[in-house]
Amino acid sequence: MGGRDPNVVLLDENGKRSDGRTVNETRKVTIKAGVLKNANGSAYIEFGENKILAGIYGPRDVHPKHLSNPDTGILRCRYHMSPFSVGERKNPAPSRREVEISKVIKEALEPAVILDQFPRTVVDIFLEILQADGGTRCAALAAASVALADAGIPMRDMVSACAAGKVADTVILDVNNEEDQAGQADMPMGYMPNLKKITLLQLDGVLTPEEYKKCVEVGIDGCNQVYEIQKKALEEKYFSKGDQ
């Protein structure tokens, strides 16, 4: 997504990246909980240049009915990019990439939610990528967790998310679009910070076994940083003014 500039310096001699960050620094992340009126829970995240809305509907009746499970509620997830979210207009029909990302995000959240009190229902997660700049699946996952908590869905833990990667033979935290296009590896991660479980993990790009371990460690560290911001978003909505 987006062009690549072959002359871009991904890591300069002072250890600064193309957008001025150090190797283990995330982009600026802000999250606001409860931004939609109609949704049962919602969140808006800005993760660097990424802008994403997350909305939760449910638990509610399942349509089509045959998908419902008499033993537990089910989770459904739609990750969708707006046509104007990227450089060249994206066809609004769901691509195979979006189908796959929807699935991995759903599977990253399933270990966290407790839905057996809501048999035959569905909790729908809608993730709309309004602007994309690399790392949208992680940002969307982080927003989805806050929105689920905002909707009052029982959860074992928050799911936090951040990517690690490799540029200029160096392991870095939170790969942006430029680094993803020109870099050597991208490893998005979803993580439950209290249960210490990795629930989303993908990788493309070549890593030695040592770099792989380092990437997972760096990714966990990034997830822990994002977790603090997720908690703050919920605190701001529910504890700051003393209402609700």
Partner 1 sequence: MGHNSVIDQLKKNQIVDLLNEGNRLDGRKFDEHRSLTIDTNVIPKAEGSARARLGDTEVVAGVKVQVEKPFPDTGDKGMLICTAEILPIAHPSVETGPPGPPVVELARVVDRGIRESGMIDMKKLVLVENKAVIGIFSDNSVTDHDGNLFDACSYASTAAILSSKIPKYEIKDEVPVLVEGEFTETPITTIPVSVTMARIGEHIVVDPNSDEWMIMDARITITTNSDGNIVALQKGGSDGFTYEQLVKCSEISISVGSKIREIIKQSTQGN
**Site pattern 68..107 for partner 1 (x: CB under 8 A):** -x-x------------------------xx-xx-xxx--x
Residue from 10, 16, 86, 111 touching partner 1 (CB under 8 A): that is 111
d(CA 73, CA 10): 45
**Site pattern 224..243 for partner 1 (x: CB under 8 A):** --------------------
Q: How far is the CB of 193 from partner 1 (least distance, A)?
A: 12
Per the CB < 8 A criterion, the answer to whether 79 and 130 are in contact is: no
Residue 56 main-chain phi, psi, to 5 deg: -115, 130
Q: How far is the CB of 39 from partner 1 (least distance, A)?
A: 23
CA 78 distance to own-chain centroid: 13
Per the CB < 8 A criterion, the answer to whether 166 and 204 are in contact is: no
For the purposes of burial, counting CB atoms within 10 Å of the CB of 137, is it exposed (0-12), middle (13-18) or buried (19 or more)?
A: buried
Residue 182 contacts partner 1 per CB under 8 A: no
Residue from 139, 200, 218, 234 touching partner 1 (CB under 8 A): that is 200
Contacting range for partner 1; rule: CB under 8 A; set: 16-24, 28-36, 127-135, 208-216: 208-216
Residue from 20, 38, 63, 209 touching partner 1 (CB under 8 A): that is 209
Please list, in sequence order, all residues whose beta carbon lies within 8 angstroms of the beta carbon of residue 8, skipping any fewer than 6 positions away.
18, 178, 182
Please list, in sequence order, all residues whose beta carbon lies within 8 angstroms of the beta carbon of residue 241, skipping any fewer than 6 positions away.
none
Minimum CB distance to partner 1 smaller for 46 or for 178: 178
96-109 vs 136-150: helix crossing angle, rounded to 10: 50
Residue 201 contacts partner 1 per CB under 8 A: yes
The β-bridge relationship of strands 50-61 and 74-81 is unpaired
Residue 208 contacts partner 1 per CB under 8 A: yes
Residue 5 contacts partner 1 per CB under 8 A: no
Touching partner 1, residues 51-70 (CB under 8 A)? 69
Pseudo-torsion of CA 115, 141, 105, 98, nearest 10°? 140
For the purposes of burial, counting CB atoms within 10 Å of the CB of 162, is it exposed (0-12), middle (13-18) or buried (19 or more)?
A: buried
Residue from 8, 9, 114, 206 touching partner 1 (CB under 8 A): that is 206
Nearest to 62 by CA among 50, 70, 54: 70
Tell me the sheet residues that pair with 167.
170
Residue from 19, 217, 228, 235 touching partner 1 (CB under 8 A): that is 217
Minimum CB distance to partner 1 smaller for 199 or for 230: 199
Minimum CB distance to partner 1 smaller for 32 or for 119: 119
Binding site for partner 1 (CB under 8 A): 3-4, 69, 71, 96-97, 99-100, 102-104, 107-108, 110-111, 187, 192, 195-209, 212-213, 216-217, 220
